[in-house]
Amino acid sequence: MPETYSLCDKKNAALVGLIKRVASAKRVAVVTGAGISVNCGIPDFRSAEGIFQQIQAAHGDTLASGRDLFDASVVFRSAATADIFYRWMTLLRRKCAEAQPGIVHRFIRQLADRGVLLRSYTQNIDGLERKAGLAVWDPYAPKTSAAHVPWQTAQSVPLHGSMDRLTCQLCSSSLHFPEHSRSAVVAGDECPDCRLRSDARLADGRRSLPTGKLRPTVVLYEEPHPHCEDIAKIIAHDTRALGSRRASPPSALSGNGRAAKPCEPHNVIMVFGTTLKVPGCRQLVRQLANASPASTITVFINNEPVCGKSWDGIVDYQVIGDVDAWCLRIQHQWNLQPKITRWTKTRKAAAPEARLAAQKKPPRTNAANKENSNASSAKDCQPASRKRKRLDACDDGLLSVRRSVRIAERESLDLYHQSSPHAIYVCI
C-alpha cells in the first residue's frame, strides 16, 4: 500500500519532508474531483449528502437511484425522467453560477503563476477553474471567440464537460448556458437553430423539420465521450513531457541520456478530492504516474483513504485530511523559500516572451564579426580622453539598466503577490 500520513500530525518528519519535496517541484500535474468544490457550496455526488442522495430522496418513485439521472441509457428513456434531468441541470447551473473558487482552485492558479503547472485535469463541471483565472480548454467555444483556448496553451482540461454551454441533441449546435433559470433559454428548451430551419421550410410551403432539445455539455454515464480523441491527445502530450529527458534532473543522466542512478523526484502528480471510481480517471492517473517513475512522485489527498494494494507502484503517498489544509501547508512552505528562488520563478512566469526572443537571437555572421573587429581597432586609435569619456558613459548606462531591472523585479514580485488572493505571502 502507498505510504499513508495524517495531515493532522504536524510533527511527522516524513510528512514535513514530503511537503518540502512537493513545494520544490519543477513540474506539477493535478487531477481533481468534486471534493475540492464542496467548501464552495457545490455538493459532491457520492457522499451521504451528495447529489445522488438528494435526487433519490426527491424522485425515488421515478428513479431507482440518483445515479440513474446521469445515466444516458436511463434518463432519456421517457419524457418524465428527461424533464427531471433538465430541471436538476438548471438548478445545478444556478449553484455553479453562485459559487466562487475555493482554496484549491486558487492554489492551482498559483502553480500556473509560478510556472510549474503542467496541466490540471478536473472531473468537475462547475467551471470554477475559469473563475480562478485558469485558461480552460473548451472544445465547444467558437475559434473566433475570446473563450476559445487551444489545447497546447490550456492550463485546465475538463474531463467530463462543463455547465457553461448548452448543446442541441439533434444538430449539435451550442450556445451559452445562462446563469439564471429565469432567462430566455434553459435546459430542455427547443434548439433555436433547429426552429429557424423548420420555420424557413414552412414559409416556403414545405414540411417542417424536427427540432432538438438543449442539454448541458456534460458527459453522462453510458454515453460515448464526444471529444475523447482530443483528450487522449492532450494526455499523451503530457505523458511525454513527464517522461522526457528534459524532465529528469541533470545529475541523474548519463552521457547517453539514460538514468544512471536513483534520483530525488522533482515531478509531482497531485490527486485531490476524488474517490477514483470513474474508470477514465483511474486510467489517467496510472498513465501519468507511469510516465517516469524514477523522477515523479504521485500524492493522493482526500478526507478518507481510498488507495489500497491495487495502487502499489502508482500512488506513492496518501495524505488523509482536508484538501484546503494541504494547500495552505504548501503555500506556507513556499513562503519559507529564499528570496532569490521566488524572484527567479516569478521572472520565469512573467517574461516568457523575452526569454523566447533571447533564444531566437540570430548568430553573428563573418561579415558582422569583421566589421566589429575593424570598429574596435579604430576605437583603439582614438585619444585616451575620448575613450575615457565613452567608458564613463557606458558605466552610467549599465548602472541605469541595473537599476531598472531591480525596479522591474520588485514590481513583478508585488504584482505576483497581488494576483494571488488567497496567498499568505508577505511582499518583500
Spatial strand order of the sheet with 174-176 comes to 174-176, 161-168, 214-218
Identity of the residue numbered 120:
S
Q: Are 92 and 163 in contact (CB under 8 A)?
A: yes
| Alpha carbon distance 414, 428 (integer Å) | 8
* Diameter of the chain measured on Cα atoms: 101
Query: What are φ and ψ of residue 174, in 5° steps?
Result: -130, 155
Q: Which residues contact 426 (CB under 8 A, 6 or more apart)?
A: 335
| Alpha carbon distance 299, 274 (integer Å) | 12
| Alpha carbon distance 362, 386 (integer Å) | 32
| Alpha carbon distance 336, 321 (integer Å) | 22
| Alpha carbon distance 143, 150 (integer Å) | 9
Strand partners, 63: none
Ramachandran category for residue 95: left, alpha or beta (phi over 0 → left; psi -120 to 50 → alpha): alpha
Q: Residue written as cell 428527461?
A: 82
Strand partners, 272: 32, 301
| Alpha carbon distance 110, 116 (integer Å) | 9
Any idea which residues carry the catalytic annotation? 160
